[in-house]
Amino acid sequence: MDVLRGVAHGKIIELESELALPEGQPVTVMVQPAVPPPEGSIELPPGEGLRGAFGAWAEDAEELDKYLEWNRQQRRIGRAEIEP
């Protein structure tokens, strides 16, 4: 199910983006009031928060791979092997 944002104007809901449906296509709509972001926060497009958070590793992918492998090895210490 797609989540779309829009603004209600009486009986009309104006969406922020086009629908990927043909003109005249019957639809079912579930309406919920949008929760405003906390005061002082910035609303980012979907995925931008994660992209920004991981951006610090963007220039050092090889070092990130080494760290993740080390982390996996540390998590295995003291665990019993799983038999197939």
| pTM of full prediction above 0.85 | no
Between 64 and 25, residue with greater pLDDT: 25
Which pLDDT score is estimated for 25? 92
Is 18 contained in some domain?
A: yes
Is 69 contained in some domain?
A: yes
Distance from C-alpha of 64 to C-alpha of 41, rounded to nearest angstrom: 29
CA angle, corner 57, sides to 55 and 61, nearest 5?
130
Question: How many domains in the chain?
Answer: 1
Is 38 contained in some domain?
A: no
Mean pLDDT over all residues of the chain?
84
Q: Residue 18: which domain range? A: 6-32+47-76
Is 27 contained in some domain?
A: yes
Report pLDDT digits (tens) over 28-63: 988 888 877 778 888 778 877 777 777 777 677 788
Is 81 contained in some domain?
A: no
Is 61 contained in some domain?
A: yes
Query: Span 13-39, mean pLDDT?
Result: 86
Residue 36: how many CA atoms within 13 Å on its side-chain side?
3
Is 58 contained in some domain?
A: yes
